[in-house]
Amino acid sequence: MPGGQKFAFFLPNTFTALNMACGFSSILFSFNGKFYNACLALILGAIFDLVDGRLARLTGTQSTFGEQFDSLSDLVCFGVAPAFLVYNCFFSEIGKLGLVVSFFYLLCGALRLARFNSNIEKVSSDYFQGLPIPGAALSISGLVLFYLKVELFKGLIYPFILYVFFYSILMISNIKFNSFKSSPWVKEHKKTVLFIIFLLLSLLFIFEHYALFAIMSLYVVISLVYFFAKEGEFKDVFVWKS
């Protein structure tokens, strides 16, 4: 294999490894009580996760190995790390209940990844079947960042239990979340899309304690409203489709 082609195969996997490294760093930060840094590590991991797949498609180096490596990396960064984050930030003092809630998030994340891998040829790329695990991890990070700034529900634990449980369930639901990959509007308004992306990144950079929580909450609420109003019924939400 020529040197340039070897580099093309190596580059996407490098970003996948960096994604895993961010998850590992987030776990270490969580153990040391540095929750702000733990959240930033997860955000950086999400950026690396976006890059690796696009690099593989651009260079034509998609492979079964790359897909499996990416899933394992996602489980570490967006499954294990957020579970440690919520446990150490919110649940460490409530005993077994905290362990169960944190593990439930991890379990749902693993099931979400397994279903995605098994259905990758069956589900349209226009939408995600259930909330993607990076989206759930960013929602958890957004909550922690918001809590660190305003001390939301200080002294209360059940709102956080419900929040984590809700986003865990969303991952294994059949609710459709728009991926924007084949959106006609996105293709026709590329400059507007670039401006929106720049605006969102600017808001995240300036108001990181509020923006991530607001953006992820808005995305989830709009997706839920659209699904129940246009496409689905409640009875279909938790039917495991494979």
- Tell me whether residue 230 is in a domain: yes
pLDDT on residue 233: 59
Q: Are 221 and 166 in contact (CB under 8 A)?
A: no
CATH number at residue 139: 1.20.120.1760
How high is the pLDDT of residue 234? Answer: 58
- pLDDT tens digits, residue range 176-191? 898 776 667 666 777 7
CA distances from 110 to 28, 67, 153, 171, 172 (A): 21, 15, 29, 9, 9
Q: How far apart are CA 150 and CA 210, in angstroms?
A: 9
Q: The domain containing residue 225 runs over which residues?
A: 3-236
Spatial separation of the C-alpha atoms in residues 84 and 1, rounded to whole Å: 41
Using 50, 70 and 90 to split pLDDT, how confident is the model at 12? Answer: confident
If you average pLDDT over residues 226-235, what whole number do you get?
73
One-character DSSP codes across 204-231 = HHHSHHHHHHHHHHHHHHHHHHHIIIII
Contact between residue 21 and residue 48 where contact means Cβ atoms under 8 Å apart: no
If pLDDT is split at 50, 70 and 90, which confidence band does 110 have?
very high
pLDDT digits (tens, 9 = 90+) for 210-221: 999 999 999 999
Predicted confidence (pLDDT) per residue in 40-95, tens digit:
999 999 999 988 877 777 777 677 888 889 999 999 999 999 999 999 999 999 99
Partnered with residue 129 across adjacent β-strands are 176
| Mean pLDDT (whole number) for 157-174 | 95
In this predicted structure, the answer to whether residue 119 has a pLDDT above a threshold of 90 is no
- The angle, 0 to 180 degrees and rounded to 10, between the axes of the packed helices 133-150 and 158-172 is 160
Provide the pLDDT confidence category of residue 241 given band limits of 50, 70 and 90.
low
> Which of 144-176 are b and which e, b meaning 16 or more Cβ less than 10 Å from the residue's Cβ?
bbbbeeeeeeeeeeeebbebbeebbbbbbbbbb
In a domain, 242, yes or no: no
Domain count, the chain: 1
Whole-prediction pTM: 0.90
241 domain residue, yes or no: no
- Taking 90 as the threshold, does the pLDDT of residue 194 lie above it? no
Residue 49 lies in a domain: yes
